[in-house]
Chain A
Amino acid sequence: MNYRSIIGKSFWLIALLLVLAVAVAGCGGGTDEPADEPSGDPSDDPSDEPSDDPADDGPKDLTIGYYREFTILDPHMSSAGLDSLGLRAIFDRLVEVNSTEGGEIYPALATDWEVSEDGLVTTFNLRDDVTFHDGTPFNAEAVKFNFDRIMDPETASQSAVFGMGPYVETRVIDEFTVEVEHEYPYGPFIRTIAAASYGMVSPAAVEEMGDEFTQAPVGSGPYKFVEWVGGSHVTLEKNTDYTPVVSFNRDEAFYETVRFQFIEEDSTRAAALQAGETDAASNMAANDFVRLRDSGNFDTHVYTTLGGPPAGLQLNVSNAPTDDVLVRRAIIHAVDSELVREVVYEGIPEPSGGILSRHDFFYNPEAGEMYDYDPERAAELLDEAGWVMESDGMRYKDGQLLEIKYLTLPGVRNVAEVIEPMLVDLGADVEIWALDNPMQQNTAQDGEHNIVWTQWSSNDPSAIRGRFHSENIGSGWNFYHYSNPEVDELFVEGERTTDPDERKEIYDRIQYILMDDALMVPLNNVAIMWAFRPEIQGWEPADSTGWFGFVMNLHE
């Protein structure tokens, strides 16, 4: 029949068009200009409309394409750094700390503070002009409520409680003065409570809402919580009653609303920014970041974190062959971390300082730069350790093959694949185990591995105790299985010392010992890559604690 041949022809025409369409879509991705047309019809959410009309002097809204859904917007319960951006916008803290420029501490909700002679009692004088978003006043009772709430087992705090140290109690002296008492002098206290986890919640709101507080958090910060649509977005609105509490914040928030649109897939997050649906894309993949940066149509910035250890390979001292310090040193010399940064991250992150970030006030360069990339030295060290290169290109000692078990999270398997040939060149047989987190912890605790990739950050160096103190072998996070009484003692001393310079000496010493014992192959500092619409200003790191504070400073 005739119509069939017509179908046949039009079929091939359609097929050809489809192929062409796919080809155009595939090849035409080079220009990366923001789309001219706003996508989304008028009935859409406001987020679909780019707010970049220069003639528009009306209220401005900011939409951030954010890389994960927030876990929980209750500072005392949250354990995730990804929540910090939201927590810092909604809640204020007693102090802010600049960990990069000499570790200076700034007043925030506390105007000043003093530590008693014996180091046990910290007295805070509080601002008397702050109210929470629900209209209730911020005062000494509120501080006591917050610290007690962090300590309450019912709260099941996943981060805040660990920085409270040997907390005894908070005493209300008068309406705007509180004393916090510790059982013994606790040096990290002031720096630690500058973290997002120590945001001050409204006691009245917590008491009223109970378990539902996490769904409608109330703080005193520059932005108020509006709504959380699970799997989609969180919206905040400007707190018009906000009096800036941190010296380096803008006078008040610029945007009427800030919307965190959760877009987990890296390419989609970049596409949403290109299509003009969002104003910024957070935590970009290196290839998307480079593409958008090189297009010249977006402003890009790389943020980093403090503390540590930054990304690197932890070496297990309890399992052969890495139980030999010479082998560990050989591995450090054999790893070309620059190549890892180039291949995996487009060369964007900076080199790691080993135990702490290079930007950290407590960073010790003598430890951080102890080893350089030197495969020849690595080979010499292995010779010295008795591992002999045989004709098959592998090293043996007493008939035993040099075997390295490398434990990694699946997400950074590519790092392992870049490093593997470097170790193979050395004459080692490398076995890679990729395990997700709870299983990784279990396996690393068992200590069957030689290498485990990890990455940490913290406000205060005392936090690295969890990684290196012998109390955490087998059931905690001491994946090095490292036990050194001198280091254990230094960690305790570091916590009980309150003078910043004395503390720096202690942590300098700790870093030196750990690197001299060759525990860590330094790879890279955390590099958090953002891209912004070019009209947006103020994305420079606003406070100290790296980058977390900047959202309230964004403006046009």
Chain B
Amino acid sequence: MARYIRKRVATALIVTLGVSFLVFLMVNLLPGDATAVMLAEFGASAQQQEELRRQLGLDRPLMVRYWEFLTNAIRGDLGRSLFTRRRVTAQILEQYPATIRLALAGMGIAIVLGSIAGVTAAVNRGKLFDTGTMFVALLAVSMPSFWLGLIFIFFFAVRLGWFPTSGSATLRHLVLPAFAIGLRTAGVLARLIRSSMLEVLRQDYITTARSKGVSERLVIWRHALKNALIPVVTVIGVQFGFLLGGTVITEIVFARQGIGDLIIKAIFSHDFPLVQGGVLVLAVVFVFVNLSVDLLYGFLDPRVRYD
């Protein structure tokens, strides 16, 4: 197991390095740079733009800048944003807690709703409840989160006044956005869990358990669900990884703090240090989540061996 983890961490490092280099290349090879954004409002002469480019160090060769970024990053210094002139690490640390809170809450809602709906639908296969649940799940998957968020705001915040429209200061600020992203993932999970459950319920050991007189509730929620979740865990892991990358649309609609919004804006304004630093952090998180999921397999499925 330890060897496996070491191997995986080593791979993760290589992947992260590769990602950071690719991102660096992509951002820098796009035509134009941050000075165009900075000067877009009031303008300047060509010569003044060139001067600013020099002052910000954007005129130096690509590889020199990448090497500098990399050596500084290893020491934990991701540089400063070209626009806010703040430390990239400070900006990421400031925004990330809100993203993690939203991802956890959204995933929690998705797992609870998705499991209940998926299992109940599988048990009631072919009945009205099954068809109805799967229809609602399909609706949830197809609904744009942008639209759903706005509907939530108008109904639950403006009309009923139950929750604040926007912001990220308290738990009450978390409810609407968590549902806005959670419902969609719940729809995905419900459909997956249903088909996975149907598969498992056909297995011999379920018949055995039933014939031994184990209560139906125990058969379904313990024996069957645990096995049905194995393929689902991968999907949960990937979905969670994406959620941890920031749900840009939801963050913007509810005016929440968050890493997704931060990085997207940085990309649009060609704020190189912030893009590079932000993507590096996201890559590390994503790789770490995937590793955790793989390790979780061992817990769910004793047949999996790490060697």
In contact, A438 and B34 (Cβ under 8 angstroms): yes
Cβ 8 A contact of B86, one of A41, A214, A469: A214
- Are A26 and B151 interface neighbours, CB within 8 A? yes
Residue in chain B with minimal CB distance to A458: B42
In the complex, residue of chain A having the shortest beta-carbon distance to the beta carbon of B253 = A265
A463: chain B residues at CB < 8 Å are 42-43
Which of A17-25, A382-390, A417-425 is the interface stretch? Answer: A17-25
Distance (whole angstroms) from the CB of A267 to the closest CB of chain B: 6
**B164 an interface residue at 8 Å Cβ cutoff?**
yes
What chain B residues lie within 8 Å of A438 (beta carbons)? Answer: 30-34, 36-37, 270
B244 to chain A, nearest CB (A): 16
Interface residues of B in 100-122 (CB under 8 A from A): 120
Q: Is A71 an interface residue (CB 8 A)?
A: yes
Known: A71-B83, A475-B50. A40 touches B164 (CB 8 A): yes
Chain B, 158-200, CB within 8 A of any chain A CB? 158-159, 161-170, 172
User: Is residue B46 within 8 Å, beta carbon to beta carbon, of the partner chain?
Assistant: yes
What band does the interface of chain A fall in when counting residues whose beta carbon is under 8 Å from B?
35 or more
Is residue B132 within 8 Å, beta carbon to beta carbon, of the partner chain? yes
Cβ 8 A contact of A44, one of B39, B41, B86, B169? B169
A231 and B157 within 8 A (CB):
no
Check B211 for interface membership: any CB of A closer than 8 A: no
Task: List, in ascending order, chain A residues with CB within 8 A of B228's CB.
Answer: none
- CB pair B257–A230 under 8 Å, yes or no, is yes
Q: Is A77 an interface residue (CB 8 A)?
A: yes
A232 CA to B32 CA, complexed, in Å: 29
Binds B, one of A127-135, A268-276, A536-544: A268-276
Name B57's closest neighbour in chain A (CB-CB).
A156
**Given contacts A72-B84, A232-B169, A232-B257, are A48 and B32 in contact (CB under 8 A)?**
no
Q: How far is the CA of A35 from the CA of B40 in the complex (A)?
A: 39
- In the complex, whether A391 has a CB less than 8 A from a CB of chain B is no
Roughly how many angstroms separate A465 CA and B127 CA in the complex, as a whole number?
A: 73
Interface size on B, residues (CB 8 A): 73
Q: Pick the contact of A471 from B45, B95, B132, B161 — CB < 8 Å?
A: B45
B150 located at the interface, meaning its Cβ lies under 8 Å from any Cβ of chain A in the complex:
yes
**What residues on A are CB-neighbors of B136 within 8 Å?**
15
Nearest A residue (CB) for B270: A438
Expressed in whole angstroms, the minimum distance between the Cβ of A435 and any Cβ of chain B is 9
CA separation between A469 and B163, bound complex, in Å?
A: 54
Q: Give complex CA distance A437, B127 in Å.
A: 54
> B85 and A275: CB pair below 8 A?
no
Q: Flag if A22 contacts B151 (CB, 8 Å).
A: yes
The 7 closest A-B pairs by CB, nearest first: A438-B32, A476-B46, A25-B155, A231-B257, A442-B31, A475-B46, A156-B55
B residues engaging A (CB < 8 A)? Answer: 30-34, 36-52, 55-56, 80, 83-86, 91, 94-95, 98, 120, 123-124, 127-129, 132-133, 136, 150-151, 153-155, 157-159, 161-170, 172, 252-258, 261-262, 268-270
Residues of chain A having any CB pair with chain B under 8 Å: 4, 7-8, 11-12, 15, 21-22, 24-26, 28-29, 35-37, 39-41, 43-45, 47-48, 71-72, 74, 77, 79-81, 153-154, 156, 158-159, 161-162, 211, 214-215, 229-232, 261-265, 267-269, 271-272, 274-275, 277, 436-443, 456-458, 463, 465-467, 469, 471-477
**Cβ contacts A to B, 9 pairs, < 8 Å:** A4-B124, A8-B129, A21-B155, A71-B84, A229-B94, A268-B254, A438-B32, A457-B42, A476-B47
14 extra interface residue pairs, beta carbon distance < 8 Å, beyond A4-B124, A272-B165 = A8-B127, A35-B158, A35-B159, A71-B84, A72-B85, A153-B51, A158-B38, A231-B168, A231-B257, A265-B254, A267-B153, A442-B32, A477-B39, A477-B44
